Amino acid sequence: MSETTKGIQDAGVVACAKHYILNEQEHFRQVGESVGRGYNISETLSSNIDDKTMHELYLWPFADAVRAGVGSVMCSYQQINNSYGCQNSKTLNGILKGELGFQGFVMSDWQAQHAGVASALAGMDMSTPGDTVFQSGLSFWGANLTVAVLNGTVPAYRIDDMAMRIMAAFFKVGQTVEGLEPVNMDSWSLDTYGYLHAGVKDGYQQINWHVDVQSDHGNLIREIAGKSTVLLKNEGALPLKNPKFLAVIGEDAGPSPLGPNGCADRGCNKGTLAMSWGSGTANFPYLSTPIDALNQQAINDHTRIEAVLDNYATNTIETLVKQDGATALVFVNANSGEGYIDVDGNEGDRQNLTLWGNGDELIKKVSSLCNNTIVVIHSVGPTLVTDWYDSPNVTAILWAGLPGQESGRAIVDVLYGKVNPAARTPFTWAAKSEDYGADVLYKPNNGNDAPQQDFTEGNFIDYRALDKANIKPIFEFGHGLSYTTFKYANIKVEKTNAGPYKPTKGKTVEAPTFGNFSTNIEDYAFPRAIRYIREGLRGSRIRTNG
């Protein structure tokens, strides 16, 4: 998170660290999503945690982001110890702004704000998108925040603090009001012309200029995708050297029949998995699939190559892979994403840790017929490999994560040794899901009230959980092979004595006081020069200086 923050802000863009904090599952993060799926709850999930675990485990990425100078932090949907994340004074004022010294602004996730005064006093600085419910024309803040200041519920200095934090982040990344480039794209539409205010069909104009911003980013994406691939197993099968016959198996090797952007917000799992689903996705300008890149390499090498891109075409697959001299490349995946999308019954979170599309059975079938079976996994996290990883016919296993638009060319770079897969797995590969100790809460457990997710495991997640229970993993956290050979020798461990921890003392300066000011709300209305735009559904008014 630290390096990502630096990279974004070095480019003049305010980075946003999210989701703060304990947003560890998608189930029950919002009441509307949950009720729409038949769960009768009245409040969102509460992540319940002790102070020690909070500080020693979950806070660290945000501490790193603050140290890197992150300009904004997004508070999360769910509750923390039964207090909503965007109005939790302990986490926002106490830990983030107090202990960590965060000087940027806190913004809500979209519709994660549940109150006006409470969120302002707890430390939230920016409401996104601003309305209580999308396109309602109603807001917890707006005029309500003005009233709260006038009646003394919210101190005036809190408004100054909000504005100061927002503009400080803006100036920190090198932006100036005078130097801003005009907006030339609309993230909500692919059309060249449309409404500036689409929700109310106002201001028809050009909204997209379709600027090519790719530059040489594709080469960088290819490099990152290749170098971040983890080689979990290799019995001498890799790198490939002019193989005579490649049998490429699996839907994950090929393109989606709907195209790379055929499912809104990538909300499906068809073809090769290069990006997960959710509101943070972007459209692929192109997608290099594994079969595309493998075909090109085979042409260059005069290699015979055939592919079956249907996981359930059992007879055709058997006929292909049992031929003499075949090197089988099996591509499989497992996906997940943001909670508002349900893909094949996976409500954001994965239902289990098995491979999708019958992937495990596919690997077992191919490896039972071909003694040189290489497996490539595209997944959002660990999957269960217990039933097939140690087969002598499975000669190599690669985890390629979610590689992005250069997926195909990047994996070919690794398979043929153009790039050394020197990455390490950032999680443990356990033999069964129970070994991890903690799991997603899939069913409400508190009647109609907020589901309660108690983090009773404390710090013991992932490899810590297995160590505590003395469980041997299949592939350890940090495991990763490479195409080079090396050994360690003459290792020496030196003890360093850290000094005692001394907590800071003292108090901050007193809050400022303000003189008398008008309590007539009409004195705080928008200037007359600002044009009113009617909200279509309710007939309420939205004001804009656009």
pLDDT digits (tens, 9 = 90+) for 119-142: 999 999 999 999 998 878 789 998
* Alpha carbon distance 438, 473 (integer Å): 16
Which DSSP letter does residue 475 get? B
Rounded to whole angstroms, what are the CA distances from 18 to 5, 73, 201, 269? 11, 6, 32, 25
Total of domains in the chain:
2
Which has more pLDDT, 95 or 519? 95
Q: Which two tokens stand for residue 388?
A: 């097939």
Q: Do 127 and 222 fall within a single domain?
A: no
Q: Which residues pair with 131 in a beta bridge?
A: none
Q: CA 407, CA 412: separation in Å to the nearest integer? A: 9
Domain boundary residue among 128, 146, 177? Answer: 177
- Please report whether residue 15 resides in a domain: yes
Both 314 and 385 in one domain: the answer is: yes
- Catalytic site positions: 109
| Helix, coil or strand: residue 412 | helix
Residue 538: predicted pLDDT: 45
Q: What is the mean pLDDT of the segment spanning 33-48?
A: 96
Looking at the structure, tell me whether residues 123 and 228 fall in a common domain: no
Can you tell me whether residue 92 is helix, strand or coil?
A: helix
Residue 210 lies in a domain: no
- Is residue 412 within 8 A of residue 6, CB to CB? The reply is no
300 and 358 fall within a common domain: yes
Are 147 and 267 within one domain?
Answer: no
- For residue 27, pLDDT over 80 is answered with yes
15 and 134 in a single domain? The answer is yes
What is the reported pTM? 0.92
Domain boundary among 431, 449, 481: 431
- The total number of residues shown for the chain amounts to 546
Last residue of a domain, one of 431, 446, 461: 431
User: What does the DSSP assignment read for 512-546?
Assistant: P--------GGGGSPPTTSEEEE-TTT--EEEE--
Percentage of residues in the chain with pLDDT exceeding 70?
97
Tokens 């600085």 found at: 125
> Domain containing 123: what range?
2-21+59-177
| Confidence at 535, pLDDT banded by 50, 70, 90 | low
Q: What are phi and psi of 385, to 5 degrees?
A: -115, 10
- Angle (CA) 57-166-155 rounded to 5° is 95
Separation CA 478–CA 329 (nearest Å): 25
β-pair partners for 541:
534
Cis peptide before 129 (omega within 30 of 0): yes
Angstrom distance (rounded) from CA 280 to CA 277: 8
Q: Residue 536: is its pLDDT beyond 60? A: no
